[in-house]
Amino acid sequence: MSKNFRVLASVALAASLAATSACSSTRDEGSTDSGASASNLIGIAMPQKSLERWNKDGSHLDEILKKAGYQTSLQHADSVEQQITQIQNMINQNPKVLVVASIDGTALAPALEKAAEKKVKVIAYDRLINSTPNVDYYATFDNYQVGKLQGEFIVEKLGLKDGKGPFNLEPFAGSDDDNNAKFFFSGAWDVLKPYLDSGKLVVPSGKKPASNDEWTKVSVKGWKTETAQSEMDNRLNSFYTGGKKVNVVLSPNDSLALGIAQSLESKGYKPGADYPIITGQDADLANTKNILADKQSMTVWKDTRTLGDQVLKMVDSIVKGGTVEVNDEKTYNNGNKVVPSYLLPPVVVTKADVKTKLVDSGFYTADKLGL
C-alpha cells in the first residue's frame, strides 16, 4: 500500500468512524480528478456467459449501474486470452472503474498495469486477482464459509457426530485457475478431515487429498459439468462394482453437481433413501429443480444481487470521491498485497426452504420452479 493511500485511508477512517459499523471499515478514495477520464464508463469483465452464474451476475450489475446513471461496457469471455483482450479494449476507453470477475486470477497482471497507469480503479468481483498491486478492492462472498457450510451439512445429514459410518465419500473441487476454489475446498475439508482420519468417511476411488493443499488432485478445470460427469462415471465404473454404493459427494458448486447427478442417474441411482447426499453452490435453476426433485441435497446460495449492490456502492464511492466500505483486511493476500475486501454471507438452501429463501426473496418466481 502506498504511503499516500495509507494517509488517505486513515483520514477517511477518522472522518467516518461515527458512520461506520463495528465490523466494517471504510477507505477514502479522495477525489478522482487526478488524471482519470471525465467519462462515467464502468467496464465489466465477466467469465463465460454459458455458466448461469456469470450470465446473471453480468446482467444484474449492468442493469443497476445503468440505473445509477453510469455508462457500461459488459463483456463475457470464454477464454483467458479473450478476457485479456476485452480488458485491454476497455482500458483504452478510459473507464472510471473496471470490475473484473477473472477466468484465471493469475493472468491479468500485465493488462492491469495499463489500468494503473491510466488511474483506472480495479475491483475484483467474486474472484480475487493475484500477483499484482493493481487491484484496489475485492467484493465477494465468504468463500471459506461456503465450503464450511457444505462440510457441516454432510456431517449433520450423515450423523457423523453421533459416531455413524463408515460412509463412502467422493470429493470434488473447483477449477485450479480460480482463486476461490481452494477456499471452498479448505472450508469443507477442515470439517470433514477428522472423519476421514477416523475412518468414518472413506473414499473408495482413492481421490482423497491428504491435506487442503492437495485439493487440485480432485479439481475440475473450468468448472465444467461434462468433466464432472465423466469423472464421476469413471469413479463409479472403476470403484463401485459388486453393489458398492456412493453415500455422499462433496461438490463445490452447482455446475459440477449437475454432472455428478447425471452420472449417478445413468448408473441407476434413483431419488430415495439410497440416493447420495450431493452438495452444491449458487442455486442455479436446474439445480434448484433437482433439489425439489430430491436429486441434490442442498446448495449454498449466494444472492448475487447483494454482491452487485455492494459493487455499485464501491463504484459510487470511488467515482464520487467518498469512502469505500470494506469488512475484511486480512484474508485475501494476492501474493503482492492484502486486498481490502467486502465479504457477504452465503446461505444454505435445502428442499424445505426453497420457497422461503429463493422464492420469497424474488430470486426465482414460483412459476419458474414449477411450484
Residue in 86, 229, 251, 253 binding ligand BGC, rule: CB under 6 A: 253
State whether the Cα torsion 263-268-272-276 is positive or negative. Answer: negative
In the structure grid, which three cell numbers stand for residue 80, read together?
A: 483467458
Residue in 127, 148, 224, 295 binding ligand BGC, rule: CB under 6 A: 127
Crossing angle of helices 80-92/109-117, nearest 10°?
10
Give the interface segment with ligand BGC, choosing from 172-180, 185-193, 268-276, 290-298 (CB under 6 A).
172-180
- For 64, 84, 249, 266, the CA distances from 230, given in Å and listed in that order, are 39, 30, 14, 11
Q: What are phi and psi of 353, to 5 degrees?
A: -125, 20
Cβ proximity to ligand BGC: between 76 and 127 the closer is 127
Q: Judging by beta carbons within 10 Å of its beta carbon (0-12, 13-18, 19+), is residue 348 exposed, middle or buried?
A: middle
Cβ proximity to ligand BGC: between 147 and 322 the closer is 147
How many residues bind ligand BGC, per CB under 6 A?
A: 13
For residues 154, 150, 362, 341, the Cα torsion angle rounded to the nearest 10 degrees is: 160
Q: What are phi and psi of 296, to 5 degrees?
A: -145, 140
State the nearest-atom distance from the C-beta of 135 to ligand BGC, in Å: 15
In the structure grid, which three cell numbers stand for residue 84, read together?
A: 485479456
Separation of alpha carbons 347 and 292, rounded Å: 17
Residue in 72, 83, 145, 180 binding ligand BGC, rule: CB under 6 A: 180
Residue in 223, 275, 342, 363 binding ligand BGC, rule: CB under 6 A: 223
Cβ proximity to ligand BGC: between 263 and 281 the closer is 281
Position with the least CB separation from ligand BGC: 253
Residue in 177, 282, 316, 328 binding ligand BGC, rule: CB under 6 A: 282
Q: Which of residues 294-313 bind ligand BGC (CB under 6 A)?
A: 302
Residue in 29, 62, 177, 178 binding ligand BGC, rule: CB under 6 A: 178
Separation of alpha carbons 260 and 239, rounded Å: 15
- For 20, 103, 137, 305, 350, the CA distances from 27, given in Å and listed in that order, are 11, 27, 10, 23, 37
In the shown chain, the binding pattern of residues 19 to 58 toward ligand BGC, with x for contact by CB under 6 A and - for none, equals --------------------------------x-x-----
Using CB under 6 A as the binding rule, whether residue 150 contacts ligand BGC is answered as no
Using CB under 6 A as the binding rule, whether residue 126 contacts ligand BGC is answered as yes
Residue in 26, 262, 281, 296 binding ligand BGC, rule: CB under 6 A: 281
Cβ proximity to ligand BGC: between 8 and 107 the closer is 107
State the nearest-atom distance from the C-beta of 126 to ligand BGC, in Å: 5
- Map grid coordinates 439410497 to a residue: 274
In the structure grid, which three cell numbers stand for residue 154, read together?
A: 454432510
Residues that bind ligand BGC (CB under 6 A): 51, 53, 126-127, 174, 178, 180, 223, 253, 255, 281-282, 302
